[in-house]
Amino acid sequence: MKKRTLIILASVALVIIIAAIVGLSMYFKPVKNFSASKADITMSSKSFFEEFLKDQSTANSKYVVNDKTIQITGKIADIKKNDDGTVSVLLDVENPEGDVSCALTKEESLKADKYKPGMTIIIKGQCTGFQELINKEVIMIRCGIVE
Residues in contact with another protein, counted by CB under 8 A, come to a total of 30
Number of neighbouring beta carbons within 10 Å of residue 136: 16
Nearer to another protein, 83 or 147 (CB): 83
Number of neighbouring beta carbons within 10 Å of residue 79: 19
Residues between 38 and 97 that touch another protein (CB under 8 A): 60-61, 64-65, 82-84, 86, 88
- Write down the least CB distance from residue 81 to another protein, Å: 11
Q: Which of 39, 122, 139, 146 binds another protein (CB under 8 A)?
A: 139
Cβ atoms of 86 and 125 within 8 Å: the answer is: no
CA 89 – CA 145 distance, rounded (Å): 10
Q: What are phi and psi of 129, to 5 degrees?
A: 145, -160
CA 132 – CA 108 distance, rounded (Å): 27
Question: Taking CB under 8 A as the rule, does residue 37 contact another protein?
Answer: no
Question: Taking CB under 8 A as the rule, does residue 106 contact another protein?
Answer: no
CA 69 – CA 37 distance, rounded (Å): 7
> Measuring CA to CA, how many Å separate 114 from each of 4, 67, 145, 147?
67, 29, 11, 11
Nearer to another protein, 104 or 145 (CB): 104
Nearer to another protein, 69 or 88 (CB): 88
Binding site for another protein (CB under 8 A): 26-32, 60-61, 64-65, 82-84, 86, 88, 101, 103, 126, 128-134, 137, 139, 141-142
